[in-house]
Amino acid sequence: MPHGTTLQEQIPAYNDAVFISYARADDQPPPDDSKMQGWVTFFWQQLRWELNNAGVHQAKLWLDRYEIDPTEDFTVKIDEALRKARLLIPILSPNWIQRDFCQLELAKFVEFRSKDNDPDDNIFPIKKREFPADDVPAVLKNREGFQFFLKEPSGRLREFYWRGLQDSKAYFDLLKQIADGIAERLMARPAPPKPLAW
């Protein structure tokens, strides 16, 4: 064991946290409506409800805006959360793709899981909005994800949530699929050993 580290620090202590990686610009509410929520905040609240409904109320949806105090070191807290999280939800958009820090979160999560059997199986890519396929990070290429918009034959994008909910059925159907997938991953982990009976 390297000098200065404890056994606890060497063994990943995965918890039931789901780390949400997003670009701040994707959570800005529209300027003309003070009651409207940003995309990420709405997604976070609805997914929290779906997870409770699926019976995994212990799952923690880790979102930096609720987890990091302004006096704390942002980078240290992010690294700590990525190291401990069981799952990662990158909310992909043109804004996310342009943010080096967002792509670094993805790279670090994969690095921290490099000894897992299939670290990619713990990533739930969310496509908030379309962006060039060439910009997809290598680790996410050829992977299925959840797309919160449709491209019409005319080429026009029909977003499920834009200045509020536009297509509630499509949005909530996808959200339920995500929650069910998360529940399946979290409930599939091995149970801790039972104490010996004397």
Instruction: List pLDDT tens digits, range 158-181.
Output: 999 999 999 999 999 999 999 999
The answer to whether residue 73 sits within a structural domain is yes
Cα 140 to Cα 20: distance, rounded to the nearest angstrom: 15
Q: The domain spanning residue 116 has which CATH number?
A: 3.40.50.10140
For residues 80-98, give the mean pLDDT.
93
In a domain, 33, yes or no: yes
Q: Looking at beta carbons, which pairs linking 148-156 to residues 24 or more positions away fall under 8 Å? A: 148/174
158 inside domain: yes
- Global pTM? 0.82
What is the secondary structure of 78-91 as a DSSP string?
HHHHHHH-SEEEEE
Taking the C-alpha atoms of residue 11 and residue 116, their distance in angstroms, rounded to an integer, is 12
Query: Alpha-carbon distance 145 to 89, whole Å?
Result: 10
139 part of a folded domain: yes
The H-assigned helical ranges of the chain are 7-10, 39-53, 64-67, 74-84, 94-98, 100-112, 168-187
| Count of structural domains within the chain | 1
> Residue 143: inside a domain, yes or no?
yes
Containing domain of residue 142, as a range?
12-187
Give the pLDDT confidence score for residue 80 in this predicted structure: 87
Nearest alpha carbon to residue 21 among 102, 136, 140? 102
Question: What percent of the chain clears pLDDT 90, i.e. is strictly above it?
Answer: 52
More confident of the two residues 185 and 147: 147
Task: Check residue 116 and give its pLDDT.
Answer: 65
Alpha-carbon gap, residue 79 to 110, rounded angstroms: 12
pLDDT at 93 > cutoff 50: yes
- Does residue 168 sit within a domain? yes
Q: Which residue has the higher pLDDT, 66 or 139?
A: 139
pLDDT for 12: 42
Q: Does residue 4 lie in a domain region?
A: no
